[in-house]
Structure 1
Amino acid sequence: MLVVPAALLVAGTLLVEPVRVESTSMEPTLLAGDHLLVDDRAYRDAPPGRGDLVVFDGSDGTLVKRVVAVAGDTVAIEDGVLEVDGRAVEEPAVDPRTVDGMYFGPARVPDGTVFVLGDNRRHSVDSRQFGPVPVTKVTGRVILRWWPRPGRP
């Protein structure tokens, strides 16, 4: 199972980067201690899109979050429901029981930035606190969780 990640790293050290998840902010999608492979070239020709799991440089080091809104979007959270441009967004990775009663915005996402949230909203420091993330700080897109193997605890 480790052959594929090792081959990708050997084939081109600039193609992918290993990253370890350090917090619970992306649960249940990613758990603290998960090891990921990140495509460092993903955003050379196009900016991140809604739903992408991105890695970026935050004030406390490398962070992993989900892009929920892009430049020009208006984002809000009303009673735990994420709204982009006034429409509710289905979020299968977010447990609605853990976000009931949360409110944010509305706020417009400025040009050259993305709005990121953790899937574990109650335990995530994200764009609600530090604001939209400049696309220039996004270092890559998560492409694979390689340890523990997907489907394994």
Structure 2
Amino acid sequence: MEVGIMIEQELKQLRKKMETTVFQYAAFSEERKQSVLKNIKKNPSKKKPDFLSMGLAMSLSISLLLVILIFMPLFEPTSSVLTDSITSPDIERVVYEDDMILYEWRSDSMDRGDHHFYKDLLVIDPDFYEENSVNRGDAVYYTYPEEMKNDSSMVDKYNEPKSISRIVGLPGETIYLKDAQVYIDDKKLDAFYGRGLDNVYNRPLFEDAKEYDTEKYTIPEGHVFLLGDAWWRSFDSRNFGAVPIENINGKVLGYRKWK
């Protein structure tokens, strides 16, 4: 096959990739787009190209393809992803005040590999939601729904009808888990608590993530959907449904700061 024909075929493929990738997402004007394509469509010289010309053409093709591969993620539509850029995976040290709750929690259902939430005393602000709205990502101290609270086996198992979990779904949203990933209104939840396999403590998920798949569930108004960070150890909204906001007894601020 002649070198000129090979180059023409490669340029044809490159035009096709640019049409279906870069031009689809990048903000090119129609005039600029046609100008670029016009330059690419120019026929190669009828003269037999030398190795330098062929090398330059190949380098151009490879460079443009690398640009496409590198920058394509930047132009990926974000409508399919829900991001929590506020909640930190770190647990802060905070000052305990007299109107707060000092709580020793003896459960590993929020553990992510470093005895999270139970290696030290927790400070809980019981009045936090009197002036603040519930937010996705908040770790909260809450009372189980009435049917759970009145179940004597629950009290025997957990010592008290209260627990700590994280707010993952908000009123009116539809939530489900699939392949160890949380989805909110069919959008991936991009957060450290939204991807089960990011948690090294979720060992069983590495064996069979689908075991934790759930059906789609629409959260009633005035309720939130709670999950423990360690899904395989947590008893949460997957088991008893959404929790009324009035059942939230406070926000977990962090570990007690010792003087």
Bin of the TM-score, shorter chain as denominator length: 0.7 to 0.9
Matches within 5 A, 1:17-28: 17-28=101-112
- Identify unmatched segments of 5+ residues in structure 2: 1-92, 150-154, 156-160
TM-score scaled by length of structure 1: 0.81
Aligned-residue offset at 1:57: 1.2
1:34 corresponds to which residue? 120
Q: CA deviation at 1:4?
A: 3.4
- Between the aligned partners of 1:109 and 1:55, the Cα distance in structure 2 is 19
Secondary structure class of the residue paired with 1:104: coil
Task: Tell me which residue corresponds to 1:146.
Answer: 256
Shift of 1:40: 1.1
Structural RMSD (CA): 2.3
Return the alpha-carbon distance in structure 1 between the equivalents of residues 252 and 94 of structure 2: 18
Which amino acid in 2 is paired with 1:83? Y
Q: TM-score, normalised by structure 2?
A: 0.50
- 1:81 Cα deviation from its structure 2 partner: 0.5
Q: Any idea what the Cα deviations from partners look like across 1:62-94, whole Å, max 9, x if unmatched? A: 210000011011000001100011111123256
Q: Report runs of 4+ in structure 1 exceeding 6 Å deviation.
A: none
Q: Out of 61, 65, 78, which is 2:165 matched to?
A: 65
Structure 1 counterpart of 2:180, from 59, 65, 80:
80
SS of 1:23's equivalent in the other structure is: coil
Residue in structure 2 matching 1:90, options 181, 187, 190: 190
Distance 1:24 1:104 in 2: 22
Pairs aligned (count): 140
Question: Which structure 1 residue ranges, 5 or more long, are not aligned?
Answer: none
The structural deviation recorded for 1:30 is 2.2
Distance between the aligned counterparts of 2:222 and 2:133, measured in 1? 9
Aligned equivalent of 1:123, options 212, 229, 233: 233
Q: Specify which structure has the higher proportion of helix.
A: 2
Q: Deviations over 1:34-66 (max 9, x none)?
A: 311111111113431100001001224221000
Mean alpha-carbon deviation: is it higher for 91-100 or for 20-29?
Answer: 91-100
Q: What SS is found at the alignment partner of 2:216?
A: strand
Give, in angstroms, the shift of residue 123 of structure 1: 0.7
CA positional deviation for 1:105: 2.0
Higher relative contact order (CA 8 A, sep 6+): 1
Percent sequence identity over aligned pairs: 26
